[in-house]
Amino acid sequence: MIIMHGLLPLPPARVRLNRSVSEAFRGVTLVHLPVKKDILPITAEVNGRGHLVVGGCDTVELADKFGTPLFVYDEATLRAQCQDYADTFTAPGVDTEVIYAAKAFICKAMCEITMEEGLSLDVSSGGELFVARSAGVAPEKIYLHGNNKTPAELEFAIREGVGRLVVDSFNELDLVAKLAAERKACPRILLRITPGIKPSTHSYIQTGQIDSKFGFGLADGTAMEAIERVLATKEVELMGLHAHIGSQIFKLHSYAKAIELIVDFIAEIRDKTGFVCGELNSGGGLGISYEAADEPSTIAEYAEVIIGNVRKATAAHDLPMPKVMIEPGRSIVGNAGITLYRVGTIKKIPRVRTYISVDGGMSDNIRPMLYDAVYEAFIANKADRKKEVTATIAGKHCESGDIIVKDAKLAAVEVGDTLCTPATGAYGYVMASNYNKQPRPAVVMVADGKARIIIRRETYEDLTRLEV
């Protein structure tokens, strides 16, 4: 018998599940999920043993079979998020493109999913470009970003024929022109603009403000200077502008403001040079739910704000509607992934705190240490039990700051339990390290009751593999 949570979570349209909904709910008793539904993958349920199930797989069995720490990605959620973007980021008569920001989570299996769902890909390094090309992503669907792309990375991108180079500085413009001339190529470029917007998010992930290492500033006139230089550079073809104001953004008005400033600038460019920008890429940044209090906007609301404001601002300047692009990362993968750990030690300090230590930590999730990021946690093998203890979940690394969740409310914990931190699908595995020579975890993809390893766990041999 399967036991499931509160409301029947109808699978979104076009998610390919083998079981029909009526089959899935036959003989089901409803119990609540251990955390707010939006934080978890869409297929999350609790089975009769009180175990968290994702993609039809019992997560406690996954931890036993594949070991811990373990990243688990739910294919149905990944596809549903891609499809939600593809379906809602459209408007009659408007040319649009959804570009998955691969930095949030990239491997060949992920590239294959975004390709199958019709999304393009934003890569931020030669390494990401290599992975994308290895997965067979068509070069013309790839956008290359970065504030200091090396000559080798640019050469690689030009040789592969990537769709757009997003040029970030004058030095880079000169370099691209030189490399293009050598190869007799004419790369299509976007210029990255810093609109002078500070969205409300952690300062490390704000990028649109004046004091930023990224892009050409609007306020100080360098953006216009860059436009004039690009228009005089015959080795490149200017297609339009790019701006990314930050990440984990909840308040959409920052986008409206940024778009207004960028479109004002597009009008200024037309008036001064006669050039009409055909493309406007507004970057990524839509926030997701990490904890119960989080209330991010929906993909549809975000899409509406972007397209609606570009339409409004261009109409006000009597400009044609450009092609509109977005680059979501976190909001596609964040809630599709969970991490499973094994509880190893429990230390009770009377009247102070209880520490629950798990077999991973800052090496698989640096975000709490880096951005004070807050996560929820629960015991995956006691997902139906009452939360009766407050404890701090610590990693196994030699740093007191290696804390994954402070003061988590948990069911009574025992050594050997499987602990789950949900919403670890974005910027988790990709920022993992080998600190303390911890091998990086395995990553499994689950769908329709089957689990497949998409990235194997590192071995001790891997840890010395690069040494000469």
Active site residues: 398
What is the Cα 323 distance to its own chain's centre? 23
In this structure, the number of other CB atoms found within 10 A of the CB of residue 203 comes to 9
Q: How many helices (H) and strands (E) does the chain have?
A: 13, 23
Query: What are the respective helix, strand and coil percentages of the chain, to the nearest 5?
Result: 35, 25, 45
Closest CA to 63 of 466, 420, 456: 420
Q: Which residues, other chains included, contact 464 with Cβ-Cβ below 8 Å and sequence gap of 6+?
A: none
> How many residues are listed for the chain in this entry?
468
Closest CA to 85 of 303, 258, 243: 303
In 41-148 the beta strands, taken as DSSP E runs, fall at 45-46, 52-54, 57-58, 70-74, 96-101, 120-123, 142-144
User: What stretch of H or E contains 190?
Assistant: strand 188-194
Name which of 50 and 69 has its Cβ closer to ligand LLP. Answer: 69
At closest approach, how far in Å is the CB of 333 from ligand LLP? 8
At closest approach, how far in Å is the CB of 283 from ligand LLP? 4
Name which of 48 and 204 has its Cβ closer to ligand LLP. Answer: 204
Can you tell me the distance from the alpha carbon of 102 to that of 125, in angstroms, rounded to the nearest whole number? 10
At closest approach, how far in Å is the CB of 220 from ligand LLP? 20
Name which of 328 and 422 has its Cβ closer to ligand LLP. Answer: 328
Peptide bond into 69 cis (omega under 30): yes
Are the C-beta atoms of residues 278 and 321 closer than 8 Å to each other? no
At closest approach, how far in Å is the CB of 122 from ligand LLP? 5
At closest approach, how far in Å is the CB of 247 from ligand LLP? 3
| Six token digits for residue 95 | 């040319």
Q: Which residues sit at the interface with ligand LLP, rule CB under 6 A?
A: 101, 103-104, 122, 145, 205, 244, 247-248, 283-286, 327-331, 367, 371, 427
In three-state secondary structure terms, 71 is strand
Name which of 66 and 255 has its Cβ closer to ligand LLP. Answer: 255
Name which of 55 and 208 has its Cβ closer to ligand LLP. Answer: 208
Can you tell me the distance from the alpha carbon of 224 to that of 215, in angstroms, rounded to the nearest whole number? 12
Name which of 55 and 284 has its Cβ closer to ligand LLP. Answer: 284
Name which of 254 and 354 has its Cβ closer to ligand LLP. Answer: 254
Are the C-beta atoms of residues 350 and 299 closer than 8 Å to each other? no
At closest approach, how far in Å is the CB of 378 from ligand LLP? 22
Closest CA to 52 of 424, 417, 455, 429: 417
In 195-251 the beta strands, taken as DSSP E runs, fall at 216-217, 237-242
In three-state secondary structure terms, 212 is coil
At closest approach, how far in Å is the CB of 197 from ligand LLP? 14
